[in-house]
């Protein structure tokens, strides 16, 4: 699994995001990447307006549909100067393979 952490001096990019616009669904892409040894995380599993910090605002599900849709579709991918070229190729190939299968 690609998880090697960069040193603080070399960290240039904190996250890579992938919006899932192909109708695959976050779980299928995330699983395909995991099967290829690529670690991912759901970037915002709870949309910002539904998080505890904003509870007093009283926003309900549906108040911000774009934010809610993105919470279902955005994955954080490994990215940064700590990745070797072959590791970047693995991430790209796994994503392309999954998209091509749709």
pLDDT, tens digit, 9 for 90 and up, residues 16-47: 555 555 566 657 778 888 888 888 888 778 99
Residue 84 forms part of a structural domain: yes
Q: Is the pLDDT of residue 2 over 80?
A: no
Domain assignment present for residue 70? The answer is yes
Is the CA virtual torsion 92, 95, 101, 102 positive or negative?
A: negative
The pLDDT-based confidence of 6 (bands split at 50, 70, 90) is: very low
- The string of pLDDT tens digits covering residues 54-79 is 999 999 999 998 888 878 777 788 87
CATH of the domain at 46: 3.90.1150.10
Residue 84 CA, chain-centre distance (Å), reads 19
92 backbone dihedrals φ, ψ, rounded to 5°: -65, -45
- Look at residue 4 and tell me if it is in a domain: no
């Amino acid at each position: 699994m690609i998880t090697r952490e960069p040193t603080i001096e070399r960290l240039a990019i904190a996250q890579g995001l992938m919006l899932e616009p192909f109708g695959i669904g976050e779980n299928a892409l995330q699983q395909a990447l995991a099967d290829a040894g690529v670690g991912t995380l759901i970037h915002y599993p709870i949309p910002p307006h539904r998080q505890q910090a904003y509870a007093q605002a009283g926003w309900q599900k549906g108040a911000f549909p774009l934010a809610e849709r993105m919470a279902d579709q955005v994955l954080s991918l490994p990215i940064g100067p700590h990745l070797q070229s072959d590791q970047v190729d693995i991430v790209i190939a796994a994503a392309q393979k999954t998209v091509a299968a749709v």
